[in-house]
Every structure is written in C-alpha cells, then in structure tokens.
Structure 1
Amino acid sequence: MTQSREQIVSRVTEALKGEASPVAIRGARKIDARGVQDHSWVVSNASGVIVATGTNEEEFESACRSVSIDPADETAVIDAKGRILTPGYVDIHAHGAWEHSFDDGPEGIDIARAGHAVHGTTRQVLSLITNPVDVIKRNVANVRAKMDERPDVLGAHLEGPFLALARKGAHDPECLKDPVPELVDELLDAADGCIRQITIAPELPHGISAIKQFAAAGVVPAVGHCDADYETAKLGFDAGAGIMTHMFNAMNGLHHRKPGPIPAAVEDPRVIIELINDGFHVQNPMVRLGFDFAPHRIAFVTDAMAATDCPDGPYKLGALDVNVVDGHARLVSNGAIAGSTLLLEVAVKRAVLELGFEAPAAVEAATLTPAKAFGFDRPNPVTGAPLGLVAPGFAADILLTDPATWTVGEVWCAGRKLV
C-alpha cells in the first residue's frame, strides 16, 4: 500500500532525528563532480561518514568488515544493479513544498523538508521570505531549533527584507527595509548563528555596510533582488558578498552598454551563482549560456514555494495570494513570478536529459558547488563531515537514481535511510 504524505513525513522526520547506521552499496555507476566510475561501491560507518569507495571486490569486503557488515549478507549489502549513485542534493534557496513553507513553524518545516528529501535533497538551507521583522525573528528561531534536532537543516537564508522595491518580485513591499546597523544586529542576535545567507540589494543606502556587517558575523551575503549596476554589484562582492541570488531573475539584465550585476558575479572567482533551471524562470538558451559563464561556480537552486510537488491551484506566499498554472506560480495581484515548483531532482534531470549537460557537471551544480558556498565542502562545525562528493571522509549523503529517467529511488542523509 502506498504511504500517505503524513506517513512519509513521520518516517523522514524520525529517521533524521535518529542515529546513523553503516551502509554498504555495490554495483553502482558513481557520478559526482570528479567524474563517472562504473562498477563502484561505497561503504559508510555508524557515524554517517563514508569510509571507502572503489571498484575492487576484495577492498569492498574489507571495508564492509571494518564497519561490522558481512559482505556476504545480501540483506545488509545493497546491490545497486547499475543504478546511478550520486551525493545527496544540496538546495541553498528554497521556501517550501507539500503545501507548507519554511515560514510555517516547526511542523511546516518538517512537512516541506520531507517533500524535498524524498526527491533527493538531503540538505537544505531554509529560505524565509520578507515579513515584519518580529515575524522573521520568530521564523529564524524555528530554523535554529530544527538545526539542533536533525542534520538536514543547514540554517536559514533571509530573502528579505533588504531588497530593492523595483526588484521585489513576490515580496511584500510594506515590509522592505534599509539594512541599518541596528537592524542587522537585531537579526543576528535573534538568529543565534543560524543565518547562512542573506540577500541584499547593495545599492540601498546601507547596503554595502550591511554586507560588511553580515560577512564579519560569518553570514554569506548575496547580491540579488537589486537594481544595482555593474560597479555597485562589484562593490558588494568586494565587501564580502559571496553569492548571487538566482542569476537573471530580479536584477538588471545583460546589456552591452549597461553590464549590470551579472558580469560582476561572473568575473569574480569568489562568487557562487544561483541558477533556477526550470525552463520558466530562465529559459533553456539562457540556462545553457549562464551555466557556461562560470564553470564549477553555478549552483542549481529551486526557489521552491509551498506548491512544490502539489497540484495546480491557489496557494499562499506569506500573506500574498498565488495561483499555480501548469506548475508555474504567479501572484494573483499583479502576475509577478512567485517562486517556483522546481525540485533539484528535476533540475538535474533537465540538465542531463533535456539540455545535454555532462552528468558530472549537472550533479556538481546540485551537490558540491552549493556546498562550497558556505565551506560545507570541507570539515566544518555545521555538518561535521564535508558534503558534495562520494569519497572517503565525506558525509554519507547518498542517492540511488534510475539511469534512464534520473528519478531518485533511495536516499540516505548522514547514514540515515530516508527512502
């Protein structure tokens, strides 16, 4: 019998709050940012960390025994039967799924995370929309609490309130603010270290000073939802911004006499560039162009709202009414694009099967590159083991995926079986 969503949420939530177990998988086609390796195996330990990978059968058996798995036990060893094995996907910009957003309190976070987890997104930075400051502070505190409960929640991304009115998109104009130092301090105090990213329009009166202030506090500022020109965006990156929020969307476009912020990000090797590969926010020719702009620095993101993995119809984005038609979300009030219904599983699938990207590059954009935005590709205090590769010492975030359809079938996060 097919499980209900309530049952899936419960299973995923309990697994993430539980302990890791050793994992042994053989007979896979391993694909990560380092390339493709057929007839691969991977073994992880009871701490949820990969201890060995390879293709040699004797080494596999030795690795199994090192974590107390009998390599001859067919119930303990998973035969991938040629399926694709990749790192778990890492989404650094998403707002929700399954009719809930990450602004909807602890239960909303559990439900929306399950909606992404079952499709292979093993780690997520939870994006919070523009709201009154007191509401943002409450929502950040909820994210902070979830980080202490489970390993899949990496922290918060504040997409607002420091956005340009002219480029607000679906954000509430009544709640937009100039990032004066006192307000920055207020948000940092409320977050207790859980803010990973904050999108800022650098041309705001205190935009550059706020970028410096957040960067000094260990937050990665992002240039986006801005009306900035090339020079101002460059000042933002030089001040400490390390991300461009969803390139092409909610910013000045490319122009031969008015370059805008995009070339400033492309030219700067310090900057990770978000890209929504859904063919709607960014149409395919521009996805191809954008992906080639900055090799190894393009991070697929979803910008997914509550309607993700749900039927078309009316939804809410904060207090704003949204209508979803053919999977595309727009504000009822003015027709503005209101986030997406994209999954990283679909972004990778589109890249490989529709756009013809090399599989390692497509996987890298959903794994290693977003991890790099926050230093999660190295040992760190948040995740412990690094993310983004199937390699010894990395977290046992593992997906088994159908090679024909790129549909995710089995999912582990830090050695915890989710699907």
Structure 2
Amino acid sequence: MTQSREQIVAQVTDALKSKAGRVAIRGARKVDARGIQDHFWLTAADGVITATGTDEEAFEHACRSIGIDPADESAIIDAKGQTITPGYVDIHAHGAWEKSFDDGPDGIDIARAGHAVHGTTRQVLSLITNPIDVICANLKNVRAKMDERPDILGAHLEGPFLALARKGAHDPECLKDPVPELVDELLEAADGCIRQITIAPELPHGISAIKQFAAAGVVPAVGHCDADYETAQKGFDAGAGIMTHMFNAMNGLHHRKPGPIPAAVEDPRVVIELINDGFHVQNPMLKLGFDFAPHRIAFVTDAMAATDCPDGAYKLGALDVNVVDGHARLVSNGAIAGSTLLLEVAVQRAVNVLGISPVAAVEAATLTPAHAFGFDRPNPVTGAPLGLLAPGYAADLLLTDPESWTVNQVWCAGRKIK
C-alpha cells in the first residue's frame, strides 16, 4: 500500500528523533569523493561508520564487533550491486511538499521529509527575506529543531541584505543595509544556528557585516549582488566563504567588467553554489561552471515549496508564485522564484545529462557542501564528519540505482528514514 505524505512525514520525523541503530551493508558499488570500489561493504553503529572494505572475512569480523551475527541474513543488507554513496547535503533550499522552512515547526518537518526521502540527509534551511522580527522568529524555530533531530544543520539567511537590482524573488520592501545593530539582532535571535548569510558586499555596510558575521562563526556568502570584481574580492578577504548560486542574481562575466564570478573562481577559500537544473543555468554554462573550480562546486537546489509537487499556484513568503513545467516564477513580474529541484535530480543530471564523472558529481552533493562549514571534519554540530564513506564518518548512507541514480534507501546518522 502506498503511504500518504502525512504518513511519510511522521515516519521520517520519528526515525530522526530515535536512537541510531546498527547497520551492515554488503555487495555495493561505493562512489564517493575518494573514488569507486566494487564489492564494497560497511558497518555502522551509534550513527557512525565503524568499518569499510571489500574483503569478506574482514566484513564478518566488522559485523561481530558491533554485535551483528554475520550468519544472520535478516540483520545484513545485501545491496545487490546498487551504488552506495554518502547522504546528500543541501546548503541552500527553502522548502518542499507545499511547505517552506519559514512555515513554523510543522512546515519544517514536512519540507524536510520531502527532501529526505530523495536522499538529502542533511540540510541547511534557507529563510527568505522578511521583516526582521519574522526572520528572528523563524531562526528560533530552526534553532529548536536542531535540538530535536540530527538532519538540520542550521539556517541560511538569503536576505534581507541583498542588492535591490539583484533581488530576484525577494520582497523589495524588506531589503536592508546590514548595519551593526541589525546584525547583532539576528545573531542574538539565532543563538548560534546561522550557518550562512547571503550579502551583497557593495552595500554601504556590506563589508563590515561580512566581517561581523564571520567573527561570530557564520559563513557569509557573496550573492544577490551588483558587485564589481574588486568589491567581491574584498568580500572574500573579509571572510565570505561561499558564492550564492553562481550566475544567478549577480552581474555576469564580461571581458572588461569581470564582476564577482572570477573573484570567487580564483579564490581557493570559496565554495561555489550551482543550481544544476538546466533552467537557472543552461547546460553549456553548467558544464563550463562546473569546471571552473574543481572540488569547490557545491550543487544546491534553491528549492521552494512546490518541490516534488504538481504545477500550480504557490507562495514564496507573501509573494504569489506560479509553477509551469516545474519552473517557478513570481506572478507579479515573472522573476524566477527558486526551483523545484532535488539533489537527487542534480546528481542524476550531472552524470546522465552533463557527462560529469560519478565521483565528481557525488562530491558536489556531499563532501564539498559539507566542507563549506567545516562539517567534513569532526565538529560540534554533527559530531562525526560528513561527506565520505569511511570509518569515523557519519552513517549518512544512500543506496541508489546504478543506472538511473534513483535513491532507493536512506540512512541519516544511522537512522533509516526510507
């Protein structure tokens, strides 16, 4: 019997609040940023990978070491040649399943389930431009959810410190200059949950705000901006470590006006977001952009509430959105209003449409986005590092079809959610 979405949300939410179990998987084809291995197995306990390998005798020993009888077939998952990858990490997404991450605790649970069942095991919840008091309330909701479940990494504020000329689908009435008092107010409300904030560095207080957020442990991102090359450089030197969805909502490449993109590409400190849906960025530019900065491209979805839903009328904050052929645009002016992309689809497109190697495609959806916040090494937020299938890393695991790259089974921190 097919489960309803309400049942799936309850199942995912309950699983993520439960204790991590023991996991033993054999007979898989491993793909992660370190390469490909056939006949791969792994074991995990307490949410962490305990052992990996290809030798059958070593697998039996690894099973016994976590209390699994290797002769008990019911306790071991035979992947039967499926691809196993780390769980996908989306650092820029706004919602799914008719809900956004601005829609309170229940909205967060629903939208997260929509991404989780498609393989996004960890997510930074992007909040859109709103009045400051609304943003602060939404940050407090994210902070509370982080204490309940391991899959929520924190918040990304996409606004209100954006350039009016590059606002995209953000409400112009709510845009602000990031004066120190506003920065302090947001940091206080967040109680440490802000991971990323998109800032136009050319704003009067743009550079000073980047410094202020960076000093508080936030990773500022350059984006939704009209910055020239030199100003973007200053932003990265001030502490910005991310470029928000390269090519979108920024001045483009020009041979006499380089703009912010070359400043990000040439700076090895910067992780560069890319929306691989073929609509925000068309395929020739996607392939070109992916090659700009090897190991520094992070696939993001910028997914809004209509993600994994039929075409129709939706909301982005207070703004009306119409989705046609899976593409979201504001009713008022036709501006692109986020995407309906899933990271599952971004990886599928990378491998099967763009011809990107599976290793590079998986890296862009796992290790690179984790690296943007230091989550690729032990840290206070996730504990175990994310992004690789190796001992000591979080047991965020996907079993996918080796041809279509459809996600079939999902574990987050050792908890089975699909």
The alpha-carbon deviation at position 151 of structure 1 amounts to 0.1
Once residues 256 and 264 of structure 2 are traced to their aligned partners in structure 1, the CA distance between those partners, rounded to angstroms, is 17
Once residues 69 and 13 of structure 2 are traced to their aligned partners in structure 1, the CA distance between those partners, rounded to angstroms, is 29
The alpha-carbon deviation at position 74 of structure 1 amounts to 1.0
Once residues 207 and 404 of structure 1 are traced to their aligned partners in structure 2, the CA distance between those partners, rounded to angstroms, is 45
1:32 corresponds to which residue?
32
SS in 1 for 2:302: coil
Aligned residue identity for 2:339: S
Deviations 1:257-293 (A, max 9, x none): 0000000000000000000000000000000000000
Equivalent positions of 1:31-180 (< 5 A) are 31-45=31-45, 47-180=46-179
2:390 corresponds to which residue?
391
Q: Residue 11 in 1 paired to residue 31 in 2?
A: no
Equivalent positions of 1:283-302 (< 5 A) are 283-302=282-301
Aligned residue identity for 1:362: A
Once residues 408 and 360 of structure 1 are traced to their aligned partners in structure 2, the CA distance between those partners, rounded to angstroms, is 16
1:236 corresponds to which residue?
235
Once residues 23 and 99 of structure 2 are traced to their aligned partners in structure 1, the CA distance between those partners, rounded to angstroms, is 32
Once residues 71 and 409 of structure 1 are traced to their aligned partners in structure 2, the CA distance between those partners, rounded to angstroms, is 23
Once residues 206 and 338 of structure 1 are traced to their aligned partners in structure 2, the CA distance between those partners, rounded to angstroms, is 26
Once residues 374 and 286 of structure 1 are traced to their aligned partners in structure 2, the CA distance between those partners, rounded to angstroms, is 26
Equivalent positions of 1:168-207 (< 5 A) are 168-207=167-206
2:335 corresponds to which residue?
336
State, as a whole percentage, how many aligned pairs show the same letter.
86
Aligned residue identity for 1:417: K
The alpha-carbon deviation at position 73 of structure 1 amounts to 0.9
The alpha-carbon deviation at position 148 of structure 1 amounts to 0.1
SS in 2 for 1:29: strand
The alpha-carbon deviation at position 43 of structure 1 amounts to 0.4
Once residues 14 and 201 of structure 1 are traced to their aligned partners in structure 2, the CA distance between those partners, rounded to angstroms, is 39
The alpha-carbon deviation at position 362 of structure 1 amounts to 0.1
Once residues 108 and 14 of structure 1 are traced to their aligned partners in structure 2, the CA distance between those partners, rounded to angstroms, is 15
Once residues 268 and 404 of structure 2 are traced to their aligned partners in structure 1, the CA distance between those partners, rounded to angstroms, is 33
Once residues 399 and 25 of structure 1 are traced to their aligned partners in structure 2, the CA distance between those partners, rounded to angstroms, is 11
Aligned residue identity for 1:91: D
Equivalent positions of 1:189-338 (< 5 A) are 189-338=188-337
SS in 1 for 2:50: strand
Aligned residue identity for 2:342: L
Once residues 69 and 246 of structure 1 are traced to their aligned partners in structure 2, the CA distance between those partners, rounded to angstroms, is 44
Q: Residue 373 in 1 paired to residue 372 in 2?
A: yes
Once residues 115 and 239 of structure 1 are traced to their aligned partners in structure 2, the CA distance between those partners, rounded to angstroms, is 36
Aligned residue identity for 1:8: I
Once residues 246 and 104 of structure 1 are traced to their aligned partners in structure 2, the CA distance between those partners, rounded to angstroms, is 23
Once residues 338 and 141 of structure 1 are traced to their aligned partners in structure 2, the CA distance between those partners, rounded to angstroms, is 25
SS in 2 for 1:75: helix
Once residues 166 and 151 of structure 1 are traced to their aligned partners in structure 2, the CA distance between those partners, rounded to angstroms, is 37
Deviations 1:2-46 (A, max 9, x none): 00000000000000000000100000000000000000001001x
Paired residue total: 418
The alpha-carbon deviation at position 72 of structure 1 amounts to 1.1
Once residues 205 and 217 of structure 1 are traced to their aligned partners in structure 2, the CA distance between those partners, rounded to angstroms, is 20
SS in 2 for 1:91: strand
The alpha-carbon deviation at position 404 of structure 1 amounts to 1.5
The alpha-carbon deviation at position 376 of structure 1 amounts to 0.1
1:351 corresponds to which residue?
350
Unaligned stretches of 5+ residues in structure 2: none
Aligned residue identity for 1:352: V
**TM-score, scaled to structure 1:** 1.00
Unaligned stretches of 5+ residues in structure 1: none
Once residues 24 and 374 of structure 2 are traced to their aligned partners in structure 1, the CA distance between those partners, rounded to angstroms, is 27
